[in-house]
Structure 1
Amino acid sequence: MISASIRIRLPEETWIAEVSRSFPGATFRLLSGIQTGETAVELGEVVAEDPRDIAEEITSHPSIETYQRLEGTDDRSLAKYRTRDTGLYKFIEASSLPPEFPIVVQDGWFELDFTGTRPEFDRLRDVLDAADHPYELRSIVEAAETAALLTDRQREVLEAALREGYFEVPRECTLDELATKLDVDKSTASGIVRRGERRILTRVLTGVSGERLTESDRPL
């Protein structure tokens, strides 16, 4: 299996391209979406200094049929909306390899993660090369590489940390909360996270595997 992170320039005419370029400091996250006929229903989040201004621009865009703000704070807004822009779903259908949510948009660029087999990824590359949109392959990792990189325990803890929002900015889960979720003490959780991060960073930055396994990292 292959895991890849790809950055794609959005078509100029799409609503999210226009709005994200109007607010280059904002982060847009597509949390889920589904195409229904000629439109798509999506759940999206905006993180910005004043998301209300962005919500107003989204609502007034001609490609947006309906827009319902579900919740929000001073710097975040969550909304459900229906759009006539369905290019993302046509791309997914053509590539046969669905991206993993959330899909992040910033200043006119999609950032998507994909996981699939080598033939599926090769087909995705063919679709990207044939499309008239610039793209950047930010990372690609073979599963065989990652299998030996982390212990089962490190992978379990790091996946929980990622899922609970420990690595988000601002952080959505404290180390205490993560430790409680994993039913371990705080120092144990901290040690496993730090060793797992060190292994990943060492491999990414130097191409060399990280430190030896320690007893606390081994499966329980």
Structure 2
Amino acid sequence: MPQARLRVDLPEGPWIADVSRQHPETIFEVLTALPEEGQGFGLLRFRSDTVESVLEGIRAHETIEEVSMIQQTERTATIQIVTSRPMILLAAKRSGIPIEMPVEIQNGTAIVDVSAGHDRLSTLGEQFDAMGISFQIEYIQQRLHPNQLLTDRQQELLSLAASMGYYDTPRECTLTELAEEIGLAKSTCSETLHRAEEVVMKKFVEELLPHSDLDFESAQ
């Protein structure tokens, strides 16, 4: 299934857009959220050098109906809120697309990850347009199941290596012991393990830095 990352510019009006622009250095993370047509319920965390000022701005905003403090430190706060204008969540709900949490928002811009077919992504774009929300698609990539990345033998070997402590620090087993346990020659075990590690590491970097300039195919 395609996975897309969207950079969404929030219009003025919703509290998160206004307050985040008033405090552009503050990073908000929406941890969980439940949208309804008239309200939105959310749990979020933010980091700021001016926590009390940010909280004051949230509580005073006209679209905020309720704020409950969950945890607060000198530079962070976790709160539950009820708001009357959960625009991104409503657009996603109407499009039938679940938004992957957490959603990071800073200075009026939200980074939104969704997994959906092209038709539903198109519908989400139409919903954003209807709400006056502008956005850019940072990337679209195909999300693969781990079974599609590795052979059965590679999966078996990686699982065994992890369970025997091959990746522990310090190592709990050697390559020789691993090869003997799985019934492979040491050289075959080493090559199979290296190929599996190569696939896993490249996929990890691709997921971690999906729009980087790394080109693994041309580098081989």
Q: Which residue of 2 aligns with 1:165?
A: none
Alpha-carbon spacing, 1:141–1:50, altered in 2? closer, same or farther (3 Å):
same
Q: Give the SS at the match of 1:127.
A: helix
RMSD between superposed Cα atoms in Å: 3.7
Q: Give the SS at the match of 1:11.
A: coil
Is residue 6–residue 111 contact of structure 1 (8 Å, CA) maintained in 2? yes
Question: Identity of counterpart residues, as a percentage?
Answer: 21
Q: Which residue of 2 aligns with 1:185?
A: 168
- The one-character-per-residue Cα deviations of 1:34-83 (angstroms, maximum 9, x if unpaired) are 13562222111111112221111111112111111111222110011111
Is residue 139–residue 210 contact of structure 2 (8 Å, CA) maintained in 1? no
Within the alignment, does 1:25 sit opposite 2:18 as a pair?
no
**What's the offset of the Cα at 1:149?**
9.4
Q: Which amino acid aligns with 1:26?
A: T
What is the distance in 2 between the residues matched to 1:203 and 1:46?
Answer: 25
Alpha-carbon spacing, 1:117–1:20, altered in 2? closer, same or farther (3 Å):
same
Q: Which residue of 2 aligns with 1:47?
A: 47
Q: Which residue of 2 aligns with 1:12?
A: 12
Map 1:122-161 onto structure 2 (within 5 A). 122-143=122-143, 151=150
Give runs of ≥4 in structure 1 deviating > 4 Å.
146-152, 191-194, 196-199, 201-204
Q: What is the TM-score normalised by the length of structure 1? A: 0.68
Alpha-carbon spacing, 1:77–1:89, altered in 2? closer, same or farther (3 Å):
same
Q: What is the TM-score normalised by the length of structure 2? A: 0.68
Q: Which shifted more, 16-25 or 50-59?
A: 50-59
Alpha-carbon spacing, 1:108–1:120, altered in 2? closer, same or farther (3 Å):
same
Q: Give the SS at the match of 2:89.
A: helix
Q: Which residue of 2 aligns with 1:113?
A: 113
Is residue 4–residue 115 contact of structure 1 (8 Å, CA) maintained in 2? yes
Q: Which amino acid aligns with 1:143?
A: R
Map 1:82-93 onto structure 2 (within 5 A). 82-93=82-93
Alpha-carbon spacing, 1:122–1:40, altered in 2? closer, same or farther (3 Å):
closer
Q: Which amino acid aligns with 1:30?
A: V
Alpha-carbon spacing, 1:123–1:55, altered in 2? closer, same or farther (3 Å):
same
What is the distance in 2 between the residues matched to 1:26 and 1:19?
Answer: 9
What is the distance in 2 between the residues matched to 1:131 and 1:36?
Answer: 16
**What's the offset of the Cα at 1:151?**
4.9
Q: Give the SS at the match of 1:205.
A: coil
Gaps of 5+ in 1: 157-178, 213-220
**What's the offset of the Cα at 1:143?**
2.9
- The one-character-per-residue Cα deviations of 1:196-217 (angstroms, maximum 9, x if unpaired) are 47852699424334989xxxxx
Q: For the pair shown, which has the larger CA radius of gyration, 1 or 2?
A: 2
Match of 2:216 among 197, 208, 217: 208
**What's the offset of the Cα at 1:125?**
3.5
- The one-character-per-residue Cα deviations of 1:97-137 (angstroms, maximum 9, x if unpaired) are 12111111110111100012233223333434555322111
Gaps of 5+ in 2: 156-161, 172-193
Alpha-carbon spacing, 1:129–1:113, altered in 2? closer, same or farther (3 Å):
same
Q: Which amino acid aligns with 1:205?
A: D
